[in-house]
Structure 1
């Protein structure tokens, strides 16, 4: 499927993932800001992976994510933080102070929801800006190398973001008849 014909669910997944990436990574946030302001953004070359030992072939499988958990989380964020209402609102007519006040409420609600339903811990314990050394065999799914990546581990550099890892998920159970795509029912006041 081409990027121009992306389904609603793939666009939704991208939006949610981008939202959390912006919150968790200053570089991503800066890149999104540049794109939104119309600046040309050159893609960063991918890091050069360390070669795998000849005796250990790499087998990667692709698994399809079901949207129910993502939709359930979006519903919880809407219920507790009015997240979708905030994102769907055209904020161009509002002052920065009004947007900031609304963002504070959305932030508080999102934070409460995340803390209620997830146990999230930093990937690295060191303070951001600390000098760290990554040994051979470090977990490349938990640590992304940026900058001038050449050679093989061990790598030494400055920790620009501690990362986040979910240790526990506590989403409510759904009934078989629950339609997770309805993240907030319409309300009719009588």
Structure 2
């Protein structure tokens, strides 16, 4: 049903509105010429909120210092690393390294249960599917694109499956890795 014709004053107000608004005049001209108005643009796609920043935990140095103290006690590890070995012959360094190695291994065996991070043998061809544990696998070489990744396992990695560090007494200063020795 056609709408009622607007009054003279309404048409006059519309004419002034068209004179003062170029966009409205263009739209009116399109209607007069039979051009359909453009569909309104779709609403913008919702923007996903940014991922929350990872929560960084403060690592207390006590366990690391305790391990370093164990390595010093059993293998003289700190002494070996602090020594300037440049002036020693290779045979002497090799002999010292065997002692340090044996002591370090003793500490690992006594306080940790270790297992490979990957079950496959070194040199195996493996496929890493999308969603693989990036904390337990480090990609090397020509890394491009998205998973699945196919490659050769160069090292299976290590993970600790059990940790058995000794308990410490209250008042213990973990910063003392080895007490100074004074011979009387």
Higher-Rg member (1/2): 2
Counterpart-to-counterpart distance in 1, 2:76 and 2:54:
38
Counterpart-to-counterpart distance in 1, 2:67 and 2:182:
24
Any gaps of 5 or more consecutive residues in structure 2? Answer: 1-47
Shift of 1:90: 1.1
Is residue 97 from structure 1 mapped to residue 101 from structure 2 by the alignment? no
TM-score using structure 2 length = 0.71
Q: SS in structure 2 opposite 1:113? A: helix
Counterpart-to-counterpart distance in 2, 1:145 and 1:61:
24
Q: Deviations over 1:117-144 (max 9, x none)?
A: 0111100111111100111110000001
Q: SS in structure 1 opposite 2:160? A: strand
Q: SS in structure 2 opposite 1:150? A: coil
Any gaps of 5 or more consecutive residues in structure 1? Answer: 1-53
Q: SS in structure 1 opposite 2:86? A: helix
Query: Which gives a bigger RCO, structure 1 or 2 (Cα 8 Å, sep 6+)?
Result: 1
Q: Which protein is richer in helix relative to its size?
A: 1
Shift of 1:176: 1.5
CA 80–128 in structure 1, closer or farther in 2 if over 3 Å, else same = same
TM-score using structure 1 length = 0.69
Give the count of matched residue pairs. Answer: 137
Q: SS in structure 2 opposite 1:165? A: strand
RMSD: 1.6
Which residue does the alignment assign to 1:150? 144
Q: SS in structure 2 opposite 1:91? A: coil
Counterpart-to-counterpart distance in 1, 2:53 and 2:155:
29
Which residue does the alignment assign to 1:17? none
